[in-house]
Amino acid sequence: MQITLPDPERNPVKFPAPLAEAQADALIRAEFADLRGSYLDVAARAPLPLSAERAAQGILRSQVQGSVSKAAWLSLADVVRAQAATLIGARPEEVAFTKNTSEGLNIGGTGWRLGAGDRIVVAPSAEHPNNVFRWLWQAREHGAEVVSVTPNAGESLEEALVRHIDGRTRLVTVTAVDFATGRRTDLAAIGAACRAQGTFLLVDAAQSSGVLLQDMASLPVDGWATAAQKGLLGLYGIGLLYVHRDWVDRVKPMSLARFSVDLAEAHEAAGPDAGWQLRAGAGRYEVGNYNYVALAALQASLDLLLRIGPAEIERRSVGGSARLRAKLEEMGIPLLAVSARHRSHILAIAEQQGSGHDLSEIDWINELSTALKQDGVAHSLRRGALRLSIHVHVLPDVLDRVIESIETWQRTRR
pLDDT of residue 33: 98
Q: Give pLDDT tens digits for 69-83.
A: 888 999 999 999 999
The DSSP symbol for 202 reads E
pLDDT of residue 110: 82
How many other C-beta atoms can be found within 10 angstroms of the C-beta atom of residue 309? 18
| Average pLDDT over every residue of 6-28 | 69
Please tell me the least confidently modeled range out of 112-121, 159-168, 227-236.
Answer: 112-121
pLDDT of residue 14: 54
Q: By three-state DSSP, how is residue 184 classified?
A: strand
| Average pLDDT over every residue of 134-162 | 94
Closest to 224 (Cα-Cα) out of 264, 263, 251: 251
| Average pLDDT over every residue of 311-334 | 98
Residue type, 402: V
CB proximity list for 259: less than 8 A, separation 6 or greater: 268, 279, 283, 286, 287, 288, 289
| Average pLDDT over every residue of 55-81 | 94
Share of the chain above pLDDT 90, in %: 82
How many other C-beta atoms can be found within 10 angstroms of the C-beta atom of residue 182? 26
pLDDT of residue 68: 87
Closest to 224 (Cα-Cα) out of 285, 151, 315: 285
pLDDT of residue 256: 87
CB proximity list for 14: less than 8 A, separation 6 or greater: none
pTM of the model: 0.93
First and final C-alpha spacing in the chain: 52
pLDDT of residue 270: 75
Please tell me the least confidently modeled range out of 307-321, 353-367, 390-404.
Answer: 353-367
The helix (run of H) or strand (run of E) holding residue 201 is: strand 200-204
The helix (run of H) or strand (run of E) holding residue 173 is: strand 169-175
The DSSP symbol for 281 reads G
**Cα(270)–Cα(119) distance, rounded to whole angstroms?**
41
| Average pLDDT over every residue of 171-176 | 97
| Average pLDDT over every residue of 210-232 | 97
Question: What separation in angstroms does the CA of 56 have from each of 61, 63, 107, 144?
Answer: 9, 11, 27, 43
- The mean pLDDT of the chain is 93
φ, ψ of residue 369 to 5 degrees: the values are -60, -45
pLDDT of residue 159: 98
Confidence of residue 248 (pLDDT cuts 50, 70, 90): very high
**Cα(188)–Cα(173) distance, rounded to whole angstroms?**
13
| Average pLDDT over every residue of 163-184 | 97
Share of the chain above pLDDT 70, in %: 95
pLDDT of residue 6: 40
In this model, does residue 211 exceed pLDDT 70? yes
In this model, does residue 370 exceed pLDDT 80? yes
**Cα(250)–Cα(266) distance, rounded to whole angstroms?**
26
> Which class for 321: exposed (0-12), middle (13-18), buried (19 or more C-beta within 10 A)?
buried
| Average pLDDT over every residue of 335-360 | 95
In this model, does residue 2 exceed pLDDT 60? no
| Average pLDDT over every residue of 390-408 | 98
Question: HSE-up of 249 (CA within 13 Å, CB side)?
Answer: 2
DSSP string, 22-40: HHHHHHHHHHTTT--SEE-
CB proximity list for 293: less than 8 A, separation 6 or greater: 56, 59, 60, 235
**Cα(317)–Cα(390) distance, rounded to whole angstroms?**
6
Please tell me the least confidently modeled range out of 35-39, 82-86, 108-112, 141-145.
Answer: 108-112
Confidence of residue 15 (pLDDT cuts 50, 70, 90): low
What does DSSP say about strands 119-122 and 145-148: parallel, antiparallel, or unpaired? parallel
pLDDT of residue 265: 65
In this model, does residue 376 exceed pLDDT 70? yes
Virtual CA dihedral for 399, 186, 281, 289, nearest 10 degrees?
-40
Q: Which residue has the higher pLDDT, 9 or 211?
A: 211
In this model, does residue 9 exceed pLDDT 60? no
Closest to 146 (Cα-Cα) out of 158, 131, 126, 128: 131
Question: What separation in angstroms does the CA of 307 have from each of 28, 40, 85, 86, 128?
Answer: 11, 22, 15, 12, 31
Closest to 297 (Cα-Cα) out of 94, 91, 46, 17: 46
CB proximity list for 341: less than 8 A, separation 6 or greater: 186
Write the Ramachandran bin of 332: left for phi over 0, alpha for psi from -120 to 50, otherwise beta: left
**Cα(394)–Cα(392) distance, rounded to whole angstroms?**
5
How many other C-beta atoms can be found within 10 angstroms of the C-beta atom of residue 336? 20
CB proximity list for 319: less than 8 A, separation 6 or greater: none
In this model, does residue 20 exceed pLDDT 80? yes
